[in-house]
Amino acid sequence: MKRIVKKNTRGQSHKPPSALPDKLKERLYPAVLELFAENDFHHVNIREIYRKSGVSPSTIYRYFPSKEDLLFAILDEKISEIGVLVREHIKGIESTREILRKIFWVTMDYYDRNPGVAVTAFITVPMRTWMKEQSYRRDDASAIIQEVVKRARERGDIDSSIRTSQILDQYYMHCYRQIHLWYFNGMTTKLVDRIPAFFDILWKTLAPPHNGS
């Protein structure tokens, strides 16, 4: 899909992440995510990013007009990887229950392997600021869940009275809640290990009622 070039608040053209050479990404992305994961959003600036990554401010500004543009471009690119992984992992699975469980597993496993993305996206970034960005509105997971729900309705696998939007709300609610708890408790456990604590209950609310109940 062709990416749209956006205008930032300064009226300058925002280049898509693909314009950044891979060698620069390898130096810049980990440094940026580490800084934002370990510090308050407003305490990180381009100078700190330069010190951490070794990428000069002039080079950074060549691609990104501000730290916000840089960070949200990274989040957009990283979060898009989840949808790709989900589609790959649910191939061949027939059970609606197992597909939904796998979607949660892939999401949580991704954040387990990329804690800097999890902390930056769910803890550090001011929501009001992020809500204005494409990375916040990504519909990768939403599109997949909508497809799964549509197929499940056709097969009678889920309660027909539950709206698709309500199921999406449950997905995002549990992601937010589990990441917040994981961070609050010092990130000492794996996010995937939390799935059994909520998924069985979630599925009971989605499954069609038994005849005669």
3-class DSSP string for 10-56: CCCEECCHHHCCHHHHHHHHHHHHHHHHHCCHHHCCHHHHHHHHCCC
Q: Does residue 7 lie in a domain region? A: no
Beta bridge partners of 6: 14
pLDDT, tens only, 125-169 = 988 887 877 667 777 888 999 999 999 999 999 999 999 999 999
In a domain, residue 137? The reply is yes
| Residues 40-71: tens digit of each pLDDT | 999 999 999 999 999 999 999 999 999 999 99
Chain centre to alpha carbon of residue 159: 27
- Is the pLDDT confidence value at 11 over 80? no
> Per the domain annotation, does 184 fall within a domain?
yes
- pTM for the structure as a whole: 0.85
Q: Give the whole-angstrom CA distance, residue 26 versus residue 29.
A: 6
Q: Identify which of 101, 109, 96 has the alpha carbon closest to the alpha carbon of residue 147.
A: 96
Q: Burial code of 174-199, b = ≥16 C-beta within 10 A, e = fewer?
A: bbeebbeebbeeeeeeebbebbeeeb
Question: Is 26 contained in some domain?
Answer: yes
Selected residue with higher pLDDT from 131 and 96: 96
Sign, CA dihedral 122-128-131-133, equals negative
Does 123 map to a domain? yes
- 138 vs 97 pLDDT, higher one: 97
CB atoms within 10 A of CB 76: 18
- The amino acid sitting at 41 is F
Q: Is residue 4 part of a domain?
A: no
Structure tokens at 7: 């205008």
CATH code at position 27: 1.10.357.10
Domain count, the chain: 1
pLDDT of res. 71: 93
- Residue 212, in any domain of the structure: no
Provide the domain limits for residue 22. 12-206
Which of 208, 206, 209, 184 has its CA nearest to residue 194?
184
